[in-house]
Structure 1
Amino acid sequence: MSLDNFRGEVRAWCERHVPTDWRASQTGASEAEFAAFQKAWFAELHGAGFAVPHWPAQWGGGMPVDEQIVLYSELAAHDAPRLVLAFVGIHHAASTLLVAGTDEQRRRHLPAILDGEIWVQGFSEPEAGSDLASLRTTARRVGDNYLVDGQKLWASGGLHADWCLLLARTDPDAPKRRGISYFLLDMTTPGVEVRPIRNAIGDSHFCEIFLDGVEIPAANLIGVENQGWQVAQATLGAERGMTMLELAERLGNAGFRWLVQACQPIEDGLVADRLARFEIEIAGLRGLCRDLVQQHDAGAVGPADASVVKLYYSELLQRMTDFGAEVAGMAAQTQLTKPASSGWESGSWMLDFIGSWEWTIPGGASEIQRTIIAERGLGLPREPSAV
């Protein structure tokens, strides 16, 4: 099928299936309403073959990269809801299982994710955020199980999660990156407690996870014991590439449209100039993202390419939402809710701007991305170690 024909099919599907009232119905939605909507929308996409196009064909994906680019472009252009709740499952969990999981783990979880199984990431801790290797959650082998104790923080979607991607320290005497193991945790296991955290804009998608004597079967270990750090790098890398392409398309469609509308009527030359600059930057971001996924598909991604895209997107998002809050005036200061299934470009500008700061911190803060670009991309001298 030609790309033009495929685009026509996706466009027609979007016109029939994207709910036109979702922003209104998801504004102020309860946690239960949000979860029900997200699961129904995922099932709708899955039925059309659009939920996991980046997965291998044997697991329900196999869409060529050029078609994936068209798909995400059309979903963004039609203002489709984001798969917020399924994100960790279809990207992080799936990539972890495909790269480092056993055949049994893949058979157990990949079909379940397509059936609606929800995942959360149990990486960050109160004293191990950007410096993830400093984590203190421990896992001790006892027979056929590991006993896990500790606390995880900033676990998005934890209230609804069925399973957790968990990092824990299994060798306290090893150098900090060499004593970590990677586990799959059933969130119904006794000793697991999830507490929501209300953030600055009033949402509670962040959670704390407390682990008190939690038993994880040894069969749920991913990869080799004490080598979970290497597995985690593959998991963190999953939010680059195609996921960044989707976010870039959304920023360039719904996000930029909202911004232009906020500036109407454009009577100020400075405002027009800023909009033109943003449009140019968005075009550059889209180009970077498309190049990244094509290079990834060809096995030719550079060691810092993903960091360049992550840094570029997160800081452009911050600048755009900041400008949106500025031009929207006092009206933006009084909006207290935004659609629960939107991204960071809902048009509720002050809330979007506050939320945009999330992107410059998780998955490697902007400072870390600059270090990676400098050392791995440009070959500059390594930053001195503190230990």
Structure 2
Amino acid sequence: MTAELDEFRERVRAWCETHVPTDWRATQSGASDAEFAAFQKTWFAELRAAGFAVPHWPSEWGGGMSVDEQIVLYSELAAHDAPRLVLAFVGIHHAASTLLVAGTDEQRTRHLPAILDGETWVQGFSEPEAGSDLASLRTTARRVGDTFVVDGQKLWASGGLHADWCLLLARTDPDAAKRQGISYFLLDMTSPGVEVRPIRNAVGDSHFCEIFLDGVKIPAANLIGAENQGWQVAQATLGAERGMTMLELAERLGNAGFRRLVQACQPLDDARVADRLAQFEIEIAGLRGLCRELVLQHDTGAVGTADASVVKLYYSELLQRMTDFGAEIGGMAAHTHLTKPASSGWESGSWLLDFIGSWEWTIPGGASEIQRTIIAERGLGLPREPSVA
């Protein structure tokens, strides 16, 4: 710690004490889609006004915080039980990282300020027959003059009902090898031919959506990177999901998540429970260290080919174990408490719903099995896994 970081922490702490809404859990429990979206936009605007919305962006675009400052910011937000930026997540992380790595100057100038003004995004990657094997996608984009005509379907599109824009992968060369014939597009969700349908899950949420694309026209200017090179661009997006976003999520898990778990265990005087809590605290310390090292390596261009996969795998499976233990400790009460605030994450303390939600983290952005394959092949240099084709 330094005097500058201490001063920054005090500034963030003072801001949280006056700006984090103390009643958000109550008002967001049972909130409608419209109420959820309105609250998320208001909260994002508050963070932006304070300079806390996109600390991981370059300074010229409104960010520029050091890794240590980001850790302080995220730990204080978590410690003060601040709402999560659920609606803005894809925009400030996936869309921004894609634009910064592969976008044109015009695309960055058009969209990065708009994201700060509240423009929301959805990721149009997965399909009914292309989940973990994303390169098997079948949505097509046929070039006609200076536009592409897109037909197909996307699945598990988080936040699709509220999205203004979509990061879209589509096949532009059906005859090429499956990873070589894909292009990456920016899709205006108000375009004719776009239909969004919510997917209601077992507990009544409709966070996920299907997106149907019927003759949708996308200007060629909305192509990200070169035509048929979208798979390479997508790795930047997936890398952000697996890596850079983990810095905030690790602090959330280590503060709000672990604190709620300790509170749930306080009535119990059991050495086995104390041992489990100690083990979780050790694992959280390891996760924080991994995340900090990953961001530092990213800033210096020294990230290993499998480092982000290690962090994503570690986080998702630790989250799953912690929420499972919370559901076990909570007993019948935890199994019958079936509501949680709409603006919380998977560490809300509604243990059964958090545990169910934790399984989502072991699937998107590459399932745990995919992450282990990446770690084995790219990180450890082991032989490639045999193809089942």
TM tier, smaller = over 0.9
2:92 touches 2:115 (CA, 8 Å); kept in 1?
yes
Supply the distance in 2 between the matched residues of 1:82 and 1:133 (Cα, whole angstroms): 31
**Aligned match of 1:227:** 229
1:301 — aligned with what?
Answer: 303
Instruction: Say which SS state the counterpart of residue 245 (structure 2) adopts.
Output: helix
| 1:253 to 2:232 alignment | no
Q: Percent identity?
A: 89
How much does 1:264 deviate?
A: 2.2
The answer (yes or no) to whether the contact 1:147–1:213 under 8 Å persists in 2 is: yes
Q: Which residue, 93, 96, 99 being the options, matches 2:95?
A: 93
**Does structure 1 retain, via aligned residues, the 8 Å contact 2:67–2:292?**
no
Match of 2:152? Answer: 150
Normalising to structure 1: TM-score of the pair? Answer: 0.98
Letter in 2 for 1:150: G
Tell me how far apart the structure 1 counterparts of residues 42 and 79 of structure 2 sit (CA, whole Å): 21
Q: Secondary structure at the match of 1:105?
A: helix
2:288 to 266, 286, 299: 286
103, 107, 110: which is aligned to 2:109?
Answer: 107
Q: Which amino acid aligns with 2:179?
A: R
Query: AA paired with 2:54?
Result: V
Paired residues in the alignment total 387
Maintained 8 Å contact 1:92/1:239: yes
Q: TM-score, normalised to structure 2's length?
A: 0.98
* 1:266 positional shift: 2.4
Pick from 306, 313, 316 the counterpart of residue 314 of structure 1. 316
Per-residue deviation at 1:301? 1.1
Any idea what SS the aligned residue of 1:329 has?
Answer: helix
Q: Could you tell me whether the CA contact under 8 Å between 1:55 and 1:61 is conserved in 2?
A: yes
Counterpart for residue 382 of structure 1:
384
Aligned equivalent of 1:354:
356
SS in 2 for 1:350: helix
> 2:86 aligned with 1:74, yes or no?
no
CA distance in 2, matches of 1:275, 1:66: 26
Query: Which position in structure 2 is the counterpart of 1:238?
Result: 240
Structure 2 unaligned runs (5+)?
Answer: none
Tell me if the contact between 2:243 and 2:309 (Cα under 8 Å) persists in the aligned partners: no
Q: Distance in 1 between matches of 2:334 and 2:262?
A: 15
TM-superposition CA deviations, 1:9-62 (whole Å, max 9, x none): 111111111111111111111000000000000000000000011111111111
Aligned to 1:240, the other structure's residue is in SS state helix
Superposition RMSD in Å: 1.0
Deviates more, 1:180-189 or 1:262-271: 262-271
Measured in 2, the distance between the counterparts of 1:232 and 1:300 equals 20
Distance 1:64 1:263 in 2: 36
Instruction: Report the residue type matching 2:84 in the other structure.
Output: R
Stretches of structure 1 that go unaligned for 5 or more consecutive residues are none
Amino acid corresponding to residue 41 of structure 2 in structure 1: K
Equivalent residue runs for 1:115-126 within 5 Å: 115-126=117-128
Is residue 207 from structure 1 mapped to residue 209 from structure 2 by the alignment? yes
Q: Which of residues 330, 341, 344 is equivalent to 1:342?
A: 344
Runs of 4+ in 1 over 3 A off after TM superposition: none
